[in-house]
């Protein structure tokens, strides 16, 4: 499973977390994906 797939999985399971999309976007940017 790739890093992006791991992050996608986290986001899908944490939609109710405040700022989840921002955490996800920041991690994607950090990884250069």
Partner 1 sequence: MIGLSNSASTSPTRSAGTLKRVANIGGLTFSSASSNGIYSMLGSMLATFPAGHGFTTGQQNIGTASIHLKNVTQGYTERGQCPIHILAVVGNTIFLRNGASASVCEFTDFGLTNPAPSDTIKTRLTINIKGYIMDVPFTVTSLLS
Q: Which stretches of the chain bind partner 1, using CB under 8 A?
A: 1-3, 5-7, 9-10, 12-14, 16-17, 20, 23, 26-27, 30-31
Instruction: For residue 23, give both structure tokens.
Output: 């955490």
* Residue 33 buriedness (CB in 10 A; 0-12 / 13-18 / 19+): exposed
Minimum distance from residue 17 beta carbon to partner 1 (Å): 4
CA distance 7 to 23: 10
Minimum distance from residue 21 beta carbon to partner 1 (Å): 12
Minimum distance from residue 32 beta carbon to partner 1 (Å): 10
């Amino acid at each position: 499973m790739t890093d992006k797939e791991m992050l996608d999985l986290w986001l899908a399971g944490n939609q109710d977390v405040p700022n989840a999309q921002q955490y996800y976007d920041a991690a994607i940017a950090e990884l250069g994906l």
